[in-house]
Structure 1
Amino acid sequence: MIIKKFTGKTEAEATEAAKKELGNGLVIMNVREVKKKGLFSFLSPKQIEVTAALEDESPQRSVVNSLNRTEASGAGVGTAKTVSMKNSTENIEKKLDSLQTLLESQLNSRPVDANTEKAAEAQKEALDSEAEAAVEKQEEKEDEQNPEQDKFIRLLYNKMLDNEMDEKYVNSILEDASKTKKADLPFDYLLANIYQKMVLKFGKSEGITPAEDGPRIVWFIGSTGVGKTTTIAKLAGKYCVEDKKKVALLTADTYRIAAAEQLRTYANILETPFRVIYTPEELQTAIDDYWDCDYIFIDTAGRSHQNAEQLEKMKEMVGGLKRPEDYQVFLVLSATTKYRDLQKIADCYGKIAKFELIFTKLDETEAVGNLLNIKLYTDAPIAYVTCGQNVPDDMEMFNPQKTVKQILGGKE
């Protein structure tokens, strides 16, 4: 993993410098305003510093392997380790806030029950199964020297399962972290390592982006009752009121009169065009008529992912556009849906088009592990999350850092 800082006059300038060096696959971990030091620093303009991270399998460039090589050299071990750990965790600890204190206090106060012991044994087997015999022997020796580290990993394991993360992904993440586990490493290093890896797994979404020519056509698909229409209203309110953009609202939901009327009401409030469409030909006509808009949002009927005929009709509608490069598709999912059902929904809608994700109803659940589950299952970026019915307030761009903190047991 590569973690570096870049500065510029603006956040965009600093981010661009990071992309030039690390590529587009980076994740911005932290953004802050900095000022030059020195006697006449007050004369210098403030700059923006971004901390960027990039998953890198190259042992020559990873933070962990750099630390291991320093230890192996036998020279300046304590100093090098302290500097490396500080550089890699400084900004991450700020994101975690009181998470480390919370976990350590639970380590000292929470009794280990039978279920915890059983889960811990399962975790140990998962971690040991793929290690070579020599590595296993060394790890067992180090574990004996510091059993508190095992308790710490065990607690994180249970926190992730409590947040309904799939055990397969939990084992994979903790197994990666265990490769860097040393007897004398503090908890904050292990915590920061796990946190970084999880944030990078979420990646980053740009959300709805403007089209190069004409309007950006945005489809919203998903099962019944997940909140598609309300989500569209929230986004339309943001673009119309806050960004002063011209938005047209279309609905292909001809099954539920109430849904169409709800969207029509929002359109009237926002003073934006509205139309009901029944066929791909009517859709193309509407797009031509509203070509001067910046965005065209299209609501769709809440299809059952088990109804193949309805899904095929939706596929025909989406595929009927003349310029498919102009549209984006967002699959709207409820955070309260079971992971097994989310998998089936994603599989079915994946046959319609490539999509990004929007999660709704985060205010109705305390377990957010499914967000990472479905991200890893589909490899589709999460763009937005909603947490209430208020239009347009209860919606925001997805924040990986905030979600990872919750999964690991931290408070919002």
Structure 2
Amino acid sequence: MLETGLIIRALMRNKVGALLIALQIAFTLAIMVNAIFMIQDRNQQMSRASGLDEANTFYLTNTIFGQDYNYQAQLQTDLHAIRNTPGVIDAIQINAIPLSNGGWSMALQHEPGEDKDTLGSALYMVDEHGINTLGVNLIAGENFRQQDIQWREPSQSTWPPKTIITKAFAQDLYPDDWQSAIGKTVYISQTQPMQIIGIIDKLQAPWVGWNSVERSMLVPFQLESNSARYLIRTEAGRRDELMPEIEKLLAESDKQRIIRRVTTLADTRKKSYQRHNATNNILTTVIITLTLITAFGIVGLAIFSINRRTKQIGTRRALGATKWQVMRYFMVENFIISLLGVTIGIIGAVGVNMWLVSTFELSPIGGKLIVIGAMTLFIVGQLAVLYPARRASLIPPAIATRSV
């Protein structure tokens, strides 16, 4: 039978040290659980599918410095040359790059006029090759046709009469039946009608931290701009081979421009999530550091307790206590301290999570994570006290006969 009462009375005689360790365990648990929760949340964000063929897609910037330049003619020439390059699946001019943290946004509403409920969306200007180039799936409706594509001048404020939206956007617009969005008329810029002609499965917005990142729309526009982006999708495994080839092709075909910023979508994803990775690394370091500090605190308290009770331990050994019984004493003592600390820590973890939920709009923490955190600290505590407990078990019975 464990001498629980004896252990508790001994702890009460050194309650300051035991309480400090319990509070340290509580603090570690509260921080650990919420830090792991935040790491998981960021990992989920980073692993979200963008909807694009990222592994085989790259883009570049076509910057024009020539005078009296025929933007429309040169754009068609460029796209024709790129699309006919062996290994290229398709190519488009596009106003913004998904996952790049920079782009266009507009809002749609069910009825025209001011003071109407609106839903914001990322906006991508593409031609009829947009769906094929992006590698997204059209799950309802139809694609743009060549006659739908319009030229957009820099100061233009009018919009085409058709749009294609993502499934997530359709669900937000028509929560009862997202498929009913096909053929519906919505309004952009408060009064301009747009008919939804198609729905694509998934296409993320450029802003990876936006809580509506799945909400995107395509409009049939091509831009007259002296700095335009071309998005190119290649056959599997040929992206890196074709990047310098297409850069050279465009640069040599027209000397009145500069081809720059040739970048893969994979690199864009990595760059956009740099802060997420950095935050996760910091949180991981904090978790490890706090756990080690707690473990060393437990070791220090146990060694201090053993040094104070060396003669008492020797007396117990002389009275017949086995090495295992001595070890068990200190392990049970640590378990009691850990139990107090974990109990306080669970309350603290829930409190911190409630603050995170209200401040940063995170989802509530799961009970499973709290249980795992508590069990981890119990195990850490038992492992930490193992060495001091074994050291105590090796105190010889003869120590009881020595004078202080």
Fold conserved between structures, TM > 0.5: no
Larger Rg: 2
Greater per-residue strand proportion: 2
TMscore range, shorter length: under 0.3
Structure-1-length-normalised TM-score: 0.22
